[in-house]
């Protein structure tokens, strides 16, 4: 394991929002148009309304090329307890927790001097109440992380192949983020 990976893992694992953080073999990531199609169904209501979401974030093929540029990665998850399986507010809080965690990972990579990296999160950007897309450039590009699913990455497959549980019991929501780097 590289010194950078050891330092990143040590600090990430200390964050109270983290459930699990482990190195990932970037070669196991699969990119599927069918995964991206879920974004295009606009379930979250952000398709075409955010700089970090499709179509603004690029095509599956473009994002696959971005990801394959990197040789190392760390997959990270959070688990949020829900009151029940219909706890929409709890699910939203889980997404905010992941976003906060990935902001921390982004700052950490900069502090450690990692020059060639990219952070990916789950779901739409949560930095602004209303995104400036498409009228003006992103106001906070350092806080804008492409959703893993927007890349077409099969998160459940990557998680299981990397030793993560994808489903963590009743009344929980598990969210995934990752950092790829050289």
Q: Nearest-CA neighbor of 145 among 91, 109, 182?
A: 109
In this predicted structure, what is the pLDDT of residue 81?
95
- Write out the two tokens for 151: 């890349």
Does residue 84 have a pLDDT over 80?
yes
Which of the four pLDDT bands, split at 50, 70 and 90, describes residue 14?
very high
Which of the four pLDDT bands, split at 50, 70 and 90, describes residue 60?
very high
Residue with tokens 């739409």: 124
**Residue 8 C-alpha from the chain's centroid:** 16
In this predicted structure, what is the pLDDT of residue 123?
81
Q: Per-residue pLDDT averaged across 18-35, rounded?
A: 95
pTM value is: 0.93
């Amino acid at each position: 394991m590289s010194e950078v990976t050891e330092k990143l893992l040590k600090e990430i694992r200390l964050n109270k929002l983290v459930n699990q953080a482990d190195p990932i073999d970037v070669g196991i990531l699969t990119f599927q148009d069918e995964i991206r199609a879920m974004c295009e169904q606009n379930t979250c209501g952000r398709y075409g309304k955010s700089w970090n979401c499709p179509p603004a974030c690029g095509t599956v093929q473009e994002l696959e090329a971005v990801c394959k540029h990197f040789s190392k990665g760390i997959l990270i998850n959070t688990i949020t307890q829900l009151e029940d399986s219909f706890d929409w507010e709890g699910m939203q809080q889980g997404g905010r927790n992941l976003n906060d965690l990935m902001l921390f990972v982004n700052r950490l990579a900069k502090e450690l001097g990692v020059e060639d990296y990219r952070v990916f999160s789950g779901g739409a950007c949560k930095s602004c109440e209303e995104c400036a897309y498409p009228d003006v450039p992103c106001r906070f590009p350092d806080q804008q992380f492409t959703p893993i699913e927007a890349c077409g990455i099969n998160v459940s497959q990557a998680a299981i192949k990397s030793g993560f549980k994808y489903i963590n019991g009743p009344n929980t929501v598990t969210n995934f983020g990752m950092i790829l780097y050289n």
